[in-house]
Amino acid sequence: MTHVRVVGFGMGPHHLTGEAVAALDASDYAIAVRKGPDDELLEVRRRICAAHDVELVEIPDPIRDRDDPADYPTAVRTWHDARVDAFATELVARGGTAAFLVWGDPSLYDSMLRVVEGLAARGDLAGLTWDVVPGISAPQLLAARHRMVLHPVGAPVHVTAARRLPEALAQGQRNVLVMLGSDRELDALEPLGAWQLWWGANLGAPGEQLVAGRVAEVLDDVRRARQAARSVDGWVMDTYLLRAAEEEAR
C-alpha cells in the first residue's frame, strides 16, 4: 500500500516542526519537481532530505503556461493533471511512504493538496492514503517580523493573490494580505499612497527583506528590496499587508 505525507516546512530546515521531522523520519523517500538546472528552491529540499537520510526523487516539472493565459483556472488544472501523471508513475513503481515537501504551509496558495487528491482518485493508486503536516506560513512570518496582528480589533483580514488585488480593492476590502507578489503588481499600489504597508520578501531565507510605512513613502524601497532579495537568494517570494488609514485608526 502507498501512503503520502504532505509536509509543510516553512522556508527551510530551521522551520521544521517536531511533527514534520517525525513525518520525514518515517518516510521511505520524498518526491520533488525540478524546475531547471539552477532550482534554488529544490536545493533547500535536497538539504532537508540529506539531513534526515531520506532519498529525494527529482522529477522534471511539467511545462506550465505562465504568460497570463486567457483561461487561468484551466491552465492551472492542466498543469496539475500533468503533475499527477508524473508523480503517479513514481508512486506506482515504488509504493511505500512518500513525502512531498511544501514551502510554507500546504493550506495556503500551494497546489500539492489538489495534486494528491488527484493521485488518490486514480485507479492505479487505489487504496492510497495520505495525511498533512502543517508548516510555518509566510503570513505568520510577516506578522512576527513586523511584530503585529494581521487584523484591526474586531475586523477581518482578506487574503488574496497579488494579481487579484485590484478586484479585492474594488470590493471594498480595507485590510488585505497579499501573496505571490511581483514587480508588475507593485505598480497597482501607487494610488494607495496613504495606506499603510507591511512588506516582506524571502522571509526566513538569507536574503530576507522587510519594509514598512506609508505606501507613498516606501514603494521605491520595496522595489529596491526585491532586487536585494533576488541578488542573495536567486529568487523572490514576497508577502505584504495593506491597510487603509481609517482601519489603522480603529
Looking at domain 2-133, its CATH superfamily turns out to be Tetrapyrrole methylase, N-terminal domain (3.40.1010.10)
Q: Which has more pLDDT, 172 or 73?
A: 172
H/E segment holding residue 42: helix 40-51
Task: Supply the pTM of this predicted model.
Answer: 0.87
Domain(s) labelled CATH 3.40.1010.10 in the chain stretch across: 2-133
What is the rounded average pLDDT of the residues 155-183? 94
Cα atoms in the Cβ-side hemisphere of radius 13 Å centred on 170:
5
Domain(s) labelled CATH 3.30.950.10 in the chain stretch across: 138-248
Mean pLDDT of the chain: 90
| Full DSSP string of 160-213 | EEGGGHHHHHHTT-SEEEEES--HHHHGGGGGGTTSEEEEEESTTSTT-EEEEE
Q: Which of 84, 94, 79, 82 lies closest to 30 in space, CA to CA? A: 94
pLDDT at position 104:
93
pLDDT at 49 over 80: yes
pLDDT at 118 over 70: yes
pLDDT at 93 over 60: yes
pLDDT at 249 over 60: no
Q: Which has more pLDDT, 36 or 175?
A: 175
pLDDT at 75 over 80: no
What is the rounded average pLDDT of the residues 29-37? 85
Q: 122-151 burial string, b = 16+ CB within 10 Å, else e? A: eeebeebebebbbbbbbbbbbbebbeeebb
CA dist., res. 142 & res. 186, Å (int):
18
pLDDT at position 29:
97
Among 17-31, 131-145, 179-193, 218-232, where is mean pLDDT lowest? Answer: 179-193
CA dihedral sign, ordered 201, 188, 198, 175? negative
pLDDT at position 132:
97
What is the rounded average pLDDT of the residues 47-68? 82
Q: What contacts 74, CB < 8 A, 6 or more positions away?
A: none
Question: What CATH number does the domain located at 138-248 have?
Answer: 3.30.950.10
Coil, helix or strand for 27? coil
CA dist., res. 45 & res. 56, Å (int):
8
pLDDT band for 131, please (50, 70, 90 cuts).
Answer: very high
Q: What is the DSSP letter of 156?
A: -
At residue 111, φ and ψ (nearest 5 deg) are: -95, -5
pLDDT at 2 over 90: yes
pLDDT at position 91:
94
